[in-house]
């Protein structure tokens, strides 16, 4: 790319879109993982980004951490910037919230039944999913469902009234893999 092209606003924008993750994206959103210490937020993030499990000694996150990943939703490249934070804030109306019960692989140590997770999620009117950073079950799906729902909110204003709306609950139910356990909410 020439200097002239770099000075051009569009090209600079393009450079910014490619620089941080070495992959082009059309739109970018922030995803925040909130939950008690040691529920597995870091591991879910690493599983989503790198497809690996961080086993071994637990080291609590100090401050904040984030990872970027570009996913494809309906031919759109969506950059998800997933933030891990201990700051609990009241979400605005246009924020998509999902309840995850992590460590679903730990069947023997289960303390919370799936129905209890569902009930809590229903109380808050949010979707619920059991995940495992260890096995990877439902981790990618959780982030994809969030990306789809955020895109839906963004496009809703432009939608025709007769156009079917994306239903995050139906999407999750049709895609999710069942597991037998969970012990930690985020």
Ligand X SMILES: Nc1nc2c(ncn2[C@@H]2O[C@H](COP(=O)(O)OP(=O)(O)OP(=O)(O)O)[C@@H](O)[C@H]2O)c(=O)[nH]1
- Which parts of this chain interact with ligand X (CB under 6 A)? 35, 37-43, 54-55, 58, 60-61, 102-103, 105-106, 132-134
Find the shortest distance in angstroms from Cβ 15 to ligand X. Answer: 33
- Listed in sequence order, the residues at least 6 apart from 40 whose beta carbon sits closer than 8 Å to its beta carbon are 102, 103, 133, 184, 186
How far from 94 is each of 77, 104, 150, 176, 182, CA to CA, in Å? Answer: 21, 29, 8, 24, 28
Residue nearer to ligand X on the CB measure, 17 or 103: 103
Alpha-carbon distances of 49 from 22, 87, 165, 172, rounded to whole Å:
14, 22, 28, 20
Question: Residue 36 CB, nearest distance to ligand X (Å)?
Answer: 7
For residue 123, the minimal CB distance to ligand X (Å) is: 22
- Kindly tell me which of 26 and 86 has the beta carbon lying closer to ligand X: 86
Q: Using CB atoms, what's the residue nearest to ligand X?
A: 40
Half-sphere exposure of 154 (CA within 13 A, CB side): 10
Smallest separation, CB 137 to ligand X (Å): 8
The distance of closest approach from Cβ of residue 131 to ligand X in the complex, given in angstroms and rounded to an integer, is 7
Assess contact for 25 and 78: CB atoms under 8 A. yes
């Amino acid at each position: 790319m020439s200097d002239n092209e770099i000075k051009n606003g569009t090209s600079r924008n393009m450079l910014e879109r490619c620089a941080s993750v070495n992959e082009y994206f059309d739109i970018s959103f922030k995803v925040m993982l909130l939950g008690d210490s040691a529920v597995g937020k870091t591991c879910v993030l690493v599983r989503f980004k790198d497809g690996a499990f961080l086993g071994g000694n637990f080291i609590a996150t100090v401050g904040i951490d984030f990872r970027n990943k570009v996913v494809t939703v309906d031919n759109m490249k969506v950059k998800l910037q997933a933030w891990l934070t201990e700051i609990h804030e009241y979400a605005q109306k246009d924020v998509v919230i999902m309840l995850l019960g992590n460590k679903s692989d730990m069947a023997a140590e289960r303390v919370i039944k799936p129905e209890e997770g569902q009930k809590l999620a229903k109380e808050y009117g949010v979707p619920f999913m059991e995940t495992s950073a260890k096995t990877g079950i439902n981790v990618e799906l959780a982030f994809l469902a969030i990306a789809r729902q955020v895109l839906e909110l963004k496009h809703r204003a432009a939608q025709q009234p007769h156009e079917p709306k994306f239903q995050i609950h139906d999407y999750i139910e049709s895609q999710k893999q069942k597991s037998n356990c969970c012990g930690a909410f985020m």
